[in-house]
Amino acid sequence: MQKQRSVARILGAVVGSLGLVLVVICAYALKLAVTRYSDSNRIVSLAVASRDLTNTLVIFRLERGDTLSYLASAAPAPDSVMSSLADQRATVQKNYAQALQSLASAEAPGLAEKLDKLRGIWAQLEELRPRAVTALKQEKAARDANLQPSWARISDAYMDAIGDVTAHVDNAMTLIDPVVDRLLIAKQASWQARANAGQTILIQFSSILANKTWTAADGVTFADLRGRIQQSWVVVRDLSPNVASPELLQAIRNAEPEISGALSDERNAIATKLLAGEPAGVAGIDYRDRQLVGANNVVIVTQTALANMISRAEDGASRARFSLILFGLLVPASLALTIGGLMLMRNRVTRPLTAITGVMTRFAAHDFAGEVPGLGRNDEIGRMAAALQVFKEAMINAERLSGDQAAERADKEKRASELSGLVRQFESRIGQMVQTLSSASGELETTARSMSGTAAEAQTQAGSASTLADQVGGGVQTVAAAAEELNASIREINRQVEQATRATEQAVVTVKETDSTMRALADGADRIGEVIGLITSIAGQTNLLALNATIEAARAGESGRGFAVVASEVKNLASQTAKATEEISAQITEIQGATQKAVSAIDGIVKTIEEVSSINRVIAAAIEEQNKATAEIANTVQHTAEATSTVTRNIATVSSAANETGRAASGVLKAAANLSSQSTSLTSEVDGFISKVRAVA
């Protein structure tokens, strides 16, 4: 039988399991909070770095564009432009330093290599800047012809490096928060729209300053940039209100003129004039200032998306910090609660239950020493202890009453045992006397019945014997006559058997002759088969000869045509002979089969007739023996008839004596029956007396 676990252990296991589940849940929630807190802080640092990189790139694009435009111009750059370029350079240098500081705390695998590349290009740019500033103050003829291509190449390399680092930082923020991912897509798309718009503005501004018209290739470049702007802006417009903040949605609306409003129409109109070989019809500085305002509105969309990313990440970090603190406290609290619950249950439940169980076990063994634990408590344990105390007192009283009842029961049992002994002695003595009387009366009655039955049987048997003797006398006479008739019948059967034997012997002779004839017929059929085989062989050879003759006739040509006809006829006759021979051979085979079956059947008949002849001889011998036995039976029957007469006379005497014996036995039977009845009455009275005595006892 399977061992049962104690209730205390089960309760401990249940409470411990619940506590363990609580601890595990809190620990898991703490782990998730740590992960969310780490991810949120990581997004914050990466978003700040992306923002600083974007700000650096925005200002640098202005510096790059103005520098390229005025390097292509014939006249020196105005002082206002030089002052603006100086401010731009200072801002770019400041933003670059701030971006490097933000990138130092950003966690993005593989970022160090890209930063090294950025620093190298930045050093080249810093080396080229003083030369560009000097060239901008000179006439075009005095400038280094290689300066403009170098500035374009190095500035493009710097923007590519910034874009590469930004893309790497942005990719490190993906797949953490879906909302951040959507904002990141909006930021990248809006920046692409701004970059392509800025490139469009730069191309047109440079053409206006240089008073240059466009070729078809310039028109294709403009159309491609315009398509890219529209494509990127579609992604920005698709931002839903549950992802974008109201500030971001408003920034998108403010930037619409740059993308598809008046500023876009102005760029399209200028492109149409330049492609037609006409002047733009606008002042370069005014055009640039108007377009840059719209471009800056697009940059505001990018910066607002970054701000939303940072804000959401900071909110996530704040919530994760709260969860981290909360579950950091809940884990030890749940562990302490589990341990405290186990200790409380052990001290307040399992130990008292174990003590009460031990007391109940002692009570079951009738050991009532000691006090019941838990008396005086106001909980379920206390009520159980009070009930157990009542049970203890009741068991003590029951033990005392049980002892008194046992003593009284022992006294009664003693008196009843003595009275029962006296009753058994009286019952034994009376029983023996009644048994003797009853046995004697039974034997007397049995003897009387036996005598009466014997006398009646003797009388009956005597009458039956007399009747049978008479019948035997008549039967003996009948047997004598039947024996004589049997003797005559046996003689007639003997005569018939002799005739059957002679007929059987004649049949054996006839069948043997038939067997010889059939065997001769079988031999003849075999010889016919041999002849048929010879004919078949001859027919085959004839057919072969006719075939050879036909071949020779064919070789002879016209002279052998008549011989060929004859050979053909001979061949046909040989074929017919072969077919007829085959049919005859089949018939002969059937005759041989039938002959063999007839021979086998005749052999069986011969054996059967020989067996019948043998049986007839045995029957004849048996009939001879029967004839002798019948004669002896006739003599014996005659002597039996004489003895039967004597027996009949003796039986009459026995029948008279049996009648006298039957009358005497009837008197004895009546006396025995009366004695048996008196014995039965005495036994009933004694049994009734003993039953009453036992009932009283």
List average pLDDT for each run of 10 residues in the chain, which is 697 residues long: 60 75 78 73 79 84 84 84 89 89 79 88 92 88 87 90 86 79 85 87 86 89 91 82 79 85 88 87 84 86 86 78 79 82 77 77 74 76 78 77 76 69 64 62 61 60 59 57 61 66 64 64 64 65 70 67 65 70 69 65 63 61 63 60 58 57 58 62 65 62
Query: Can you give the three-state secondary structure of 449-472, one letter per residue?
Result: HHHHHHHHHHHHHHHHHHHHHHHH
Cα 174 → chain centroid: 44
Question: Which pTM does this prediction carry?
Answer: 0.42
The upper half-sphere exposure of residue 153, i.e. CA atoms within 13 Å in the direction of its Cβ, equals 7
> Cβ(251)–Cβ(301) under 8 Å?
yes
Structure tokens given for 94: 């400041």
| Distance between CA atoms of residues 295 and 300, nearest Å | 9
Q: Which helix (H) or strand (E) holds 78?
A: none
> Cβ(280)–Cβ(270) under 8 Å?
yes
Nearest one of 151, 156, 279 to 209, comparing CA atoms: 279
184 burial type by CB count under 10 A (0-12 exposed, 13-18 middle, 19+ buried): buried
Quote the pLDDT of residue 242: 67
To which residue do tokens 């069986």 refer?
604
Nearest one of 493, 490, 491 to 501, comparing CA atoms: 493
For helices 7-72 and 147-172, angle between their N-to-C axes, nearest 10 degrees: 170
Quote the pLDDT of residue 647: 47
CA distances from 157 to 99, 119, 153 (A): 17, 11, 6
Quote the pLDDT of residue 654: 45
Q: Residue 19: how many CB atoms within 10 A of its CB? A: 19
Quote the pLDDT of residue 223: 92
Q: Which helix (H) or strand (E) holds 243?
A: none
Quote the pLDDT of residue 1: 43
Structure tokens given for 485: 């008739």
Quote the pLDDT of residue 111: 83
Quote the pLDDT of residue 388: 76
> Computed over its alpha carbons, how large is the radius of gyration of the chain?
73
N residues, the chain: 697
Quote the pLDDT of residue 378: 78
Quote the pLDDT of residue 27: 78
Quote the pLDDT of residue 337: 81
Phi, psi angles (nearest 5°) of residue 561: -65, -45
Q: Which helix (H) or strand (E) holds 67?
A: helix 7-72
> Cβ(662)–Cβ(455) under 8 Å?
yes
Residue spans of alpha helices (H) in 346-378: 351-364
Q: Residue 488: how many CB atoms within 10 A of its CB? A: 10
Q: What is the DSSP string of 482-497?
A: HHHHHHHHHHHHHHHH
| Distance between CA atoms of residues 515 and 227, nearest Å | 128
| Distance between CA atoms of residues 201 and 199, nearest Å | 5
Residue spans of alpha helices (H) in 73-177: 79-104, 111-136, 147-172
Domains and their CATH numbers in the chain: 7-337 (no CATH), 385-696 (1.10.287.950)
Quote the pLDDT of residue 664: 52
Single-letter code of the amino acid located at 103: L
The upper half-sphere exposure of residue 488, i.e. CA atoms within 13 Å in the direction of its Cβ, equals 5
